[in-house]
Amino acid sequence: MLKIALVGTGFIGMQHIEAIGRIPDAKIVAIADKNLKKLDELKSQGVCENIYTDFKQMIKNENIDILHNCTPTNMHYEVNKFAIENGINVYSEKPLVMTSEEGDDLLEILKGKNLLTAVNFNYRSNLFVQEIHERVKAEDFGKILLVKGDYLQDWLMFQSDYDWRMDVKIGGKSRALADIGSHLFDILEYTTSKKIVKVNAKLFKSFEQRKKYKDVGTFKQVQTDRQDYELIEVENEDGALVQVEFEGGIYGSLLISQVSAGKKNGLEINISGENYALEWKQEQSDRLFIGNRDKANEQIYADAKYVSENVKKFANLPNGHPVGWHDALTNGIKSFYQDVKDKNYSENHTFATFKDANHILKIIDACFESDKTGKWVTVK
């Protein structure tokens, strides 16, 4: 039985708790958060008996195999570092840390340690993202001709929309790129098996100031006929247009936005191959579109009998029972747990590692430099 601990009980922390509960041979033995009221609620609900307001004390006191870091971005480095230094495998929320320099430091600390790390780019654990990864590698797909990706949302399109990620001291210099663009970068690198090496980016802000209401929250729309707000200067981006070059001279075009009306969680990718194209939409995650030129287009639904052998383990439900966001989250965590049990310290994983996630931070750094200079920039 794997002993699991978790830090952070906000929106994403609660999703982790639910996902862990769906995995056999894993038990949450301790939870840490500064919100004692929330901890008491979880204890009374039977989620976990051992609760802490100090994550360091929890790590020191408990016999933990894996730590889930579900804190805001500004705490990622401190929590991840302390866990690693105490010999604990870490499953962290994204982005990995505030800066790629902090990421470099974590990778240096990990050297020589038999520990596994993961970052929750959960979309790559969707059945059909895994299937695209396998099909693009297959000989009949041919060479990659073009890559296209969008990640569009609308939950920050009004001036009255506010979230902690807009505070650069908590969320970091990047918002849209770090929050959702990072997912797009990750699944495109994973499905193509190619790293992004150059970018040409234009970042944009819809509002220089936003209204921060007292009862504002993530994904929460407030009544705007009130005056109980303060105007907050916006220092990070609402979206970006990014041209990318992958290894091997493959080009792609990406659009990222959190201010696009009607788009709730519109993550979409299209990989155009020499012989056919593959397209996947997160909001219809149980189906894969196959584009053909000389015959009818195809659409396949999520079922083990329709996917590659390596992907069958991600097909948990029969055809017609749609797989979704929670399934991808659970799949990623389950894969990480299995590799911890198997002591798989290779670089061959279906989940994103700290190394993968730090590369994403370097892509974001390059996007900022490109936006500033107006030129193509090499990812360091």
β-pair type (26-32, 51-52)? parallel
pLDDT tens track for 61-89: 999 999 999 999 999 999 999 999 999 99
**Rounded to 5°, angle at Cα 45 from 44 and 51:** 60
Within a domain: 341: no
| Of 115, 143, 171, the domain-final residue | 115
Mean model confidence pLDDT for the chain:
96
At residue 182, the pLDDT reads 98
Containing structural domain, residue 307: 124-325+350-378
- Whether residues 292 and 197 share a domain: the answer is yes
Within a domain: 334: no
At residue 320, the pLDDT reads 77
pLDDT tens track for 198-234: 999 999 999 999 999 876 767 667 666 678 889 999 9
- Gap between the Cα atoms of 138 and 310, Å rounded: 13
- Gap between the Cα atoms of 207 and 224, Å rounded: 16
- Cα dihedral 254, 137, 183, 197, rounded to 10, equals -60
CA distances from 181 to 79, 110, 184, 214, 221 (A): 23, 26, 5, 28, 23
pLDDT tens track for 97-138: 999 999 999 999 999 999 999 999 999 999 999 999 999 999
28's tokens? 């949450």
All residues at 6 or more sequence positions from 44 whose CB lies less than 8 Å from its CB, including other chains? none
At residue 223, the pLDDT reads 66
Q: What percent of the chain has pLDDT over 70?
A: 98
At residue 225, the pLDDT reads 67
Does this model's pTM top 0.85? My answer is yes
| Of 68, 96, 115, the domain-final residue | 115
**DSSP-assigned states of every residue in 103-139:** HHHHHHHHTT----EEE--GGGGSHHHHHHHHHHHSG
Per the CB < 8 A criterion, the answer to whether 290 and 278 are in contact is yes
Which of 142, 345, 336, 183 lies closest to 265 in space, CA to CA? 183
Count: domains in the chain: 2
3-class SS at 4? strand
- Whether residues 59 and 79 share a domain: the answer is yes
At residue 217, the pLDDT reads 66
The Cβ of residue 214 has, within 10 Å, a number of other Cβ atoms equal to 9
Average pLDDT over residues 30-47: 98
At residue 219, the pLDDT reads 63
Which of 172, 151, 197 lies closest to 359 in space, CA to CA? 197
Helix axes 100-110, 354-373, angle to 10 degrees: 160
- Whether residues 235 and 372 share a domain: the answer is yes
314's tokens? 């991600």
- Whether residues 240 and 92 share a domain: the answer is no
At residue 220, the pLDDT reads 66
Within a domain: 342: no
The CATH number covering residue 80 comes to: 3.40.50.720
Does a cis peptide bond (omega within 30 degrees of 0) precede residue 95? Answer: yes
- Whether residues 262 and 143 share a domain: the answer is yes
Within a domain: 296: yes
pLDDT tens track for 293-342: 999 999 999 889 999 999 998 887 777 787 889 999 999 999 999 999 99
- Whether residues 161 and 61 share a domain: the answer is no
Tell me: pLDDT of 245 over 80: yes
Per the CB < 8 A criterion, the answer to whether 353 and 347 are in contact is yes
- Whether residues 180 and 284 share a domain: the answer is yes
Average pLDDT over residues 31-39: 98
At residue 214, the pLDDT reads 79
Query: Which range is least confidently modeled, 156-165, 274-283, 291-300?
Result: 156-165
- Gap between the Cα atoms of 11 and 9, Å rounded: 7
- Gap between the Cα atoms of 232 and 116, Å rounded: 40
Within a domain: 340: no
Per the CB < 8 A criterion, the answer to whether 156 and 163 are in contact is yes
The Cβ of residue 283 has, within 10 Å, a number of other Cβ atoms equal to 12
164-168, 319-323, 369-373 — which one is most confidently predicted on average?
A: 369-373
| Of 115, 132, 148, the domain-final residue | 115
